Amino acid sequence: MCLAVPGQIRSMEADGTARCAVGGIEKTVDVSLIEEPKPGDWVIVHVGFALTRIDEKEAQATIAALKAAGAAEPLQEAVR
């Protein structure tokens, strides 16, 4: 199963990637598809790429829905 999940950019790296908090784990994510990414932005992450920017309300609603569906542990495994 493929899953795209919300993540929040924590910091930008010199190589054009970003450190993102995704499912309780901090992960390096390629943000080259996002226009002017910056710390604090919420993005949808799939297979190591930030695909699009979303607002915090949408991100929190998606995280809550994943947790309610019992996807919290698989979510953490999916982003390792």
Q: Which domains does the chain have, with CATH numbers?
A: 5-78 (2.30.30.140)
Is 54 exposed, middle or buried (CB count within 10 Å of its CB: 0-12, 13-18, 19+)?
A: middle
User: What is the pLDDT at residue 4?
Assistant: 86
User: What is the pLDDT at residue 20?
Assistant: 96
What span, in angstroms and rounded, lies between the C-alpha atoms of 62 and 71?
11
Whole-structure pTM value: 0.82
User: What is the pLDDT at residue 71?
Assistant: 66
> Could you tell me the two tokens for 32?
């080259």
Tell me the average confidence (pLDDT) per consecutive run of 10 residues in the chain, 80 residues long. 86 96 91 96 95 95 86 54
What span, in angstroms and rounded, lies between the C-alpha atoms of 40 and 7?
10
C-alpha distance from residue 74 to each of 30, 49, 71 (Å): 22, 18, 5
